[in-house]
């Protein structure tokens, strides 16, 4: 069982930082993959650099796709579950006990207006509150509820940098790389 995210849409220039943050939350909060549409290659480089520095390059995959409808249909055909995060869905407080277990989940979040078919292709339309707010916040809250907080202590293999928790200041342990001849 794994969770992937589909970042549907990308408003050029305006969304570079937001899409990057969606990918960072996806990685840090336990997703195995993110699919993105309409993004600049520089976002891939940024996320890959984070994976190289902080670990997870073997655990997190990024794929730019053109045909999101095909992805959704294939996901369903392979018995996966599609969860669409939208302020128009059923409030997360009412359905958090109904999360599908033991199946691959694709979490869909939009950048701009989400096409109507997404609402009907999704198995669950979930609202993290029924007010407008950030898709980054919705994704983080959904993943935290799904993993019941366990994702917050996840560590990543092959990390060059690792935070040493501290009540004051910043402490980072940097792994020395072996020099190749």
Per residue in 42-69, pLDDT (tens digit) is 888 999 999 999 998 888 999 999 999 9
Answer CATH for 3-153 from 3.90.226.10, 2.60.120.10, 3.40.1280.10, 3.40.50.12500: 3.40.1280.10
pLDDT of residue 84: 97
- The pTM assigned to this predicted structure is 0.90
In tens digits, the chain (181 residues) has pLDDT values of 789 999 987 665 567 888 899 999 999 999 999 999 888 888 889 999 999 999 988 889 999 999 999 999 999 999 999 999 999 999 999 986 777 788 999 999 988 789 999 999 999 999 999 898 999 999 999 999 999 999 999 888 889 999 999 999 999 999 877 666 5
In whole angstroms, give the CA distance from residue 64 to residue 12.
Answer: 15
pLDDT of residue 177: 72
Structure tokens belonging to residue 167 = 């009540």
Per-domain boundaries in the chain: 3-153
């Amino acid at each position: 069982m794994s969770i992937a995210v589909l970042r549907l849409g990308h408003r050029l220039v305006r969304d570079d930082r937001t899409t990057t943050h969606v990918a960072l939350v996806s990685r840090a909060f336990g997703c195995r993959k993110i699919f993105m549409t309409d993004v600049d290659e520089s976002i891939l480089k940024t996320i890959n650099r984070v994976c190289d520095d902080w670990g997870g390059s073997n655990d997190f995959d990024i794929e730019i796709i053109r045909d999101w409808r095909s992805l959704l249909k294939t996901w369903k055909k392979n018995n996966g579950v599609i969860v669409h995060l939208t302020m128009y869905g059923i409030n997360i407080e009412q359905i958090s006990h109904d999360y599908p277990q033991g199946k691959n989940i694709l979490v869909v979040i939009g950048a701009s207006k989400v096409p109507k078919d997404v609402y009907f292709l999704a198995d669950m339309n979930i609202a993290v509150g029924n007010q407008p707010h950030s898709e980054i916040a919705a994704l983080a809250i959904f993943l935290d509820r799904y993993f019941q907080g366990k994702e917050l202590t996840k560590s990543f293999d092959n990390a060059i940098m690792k935070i040493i928790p501290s009540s004051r200041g910043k402490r980072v342990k940097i792994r020395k790389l072996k020099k190749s001849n």
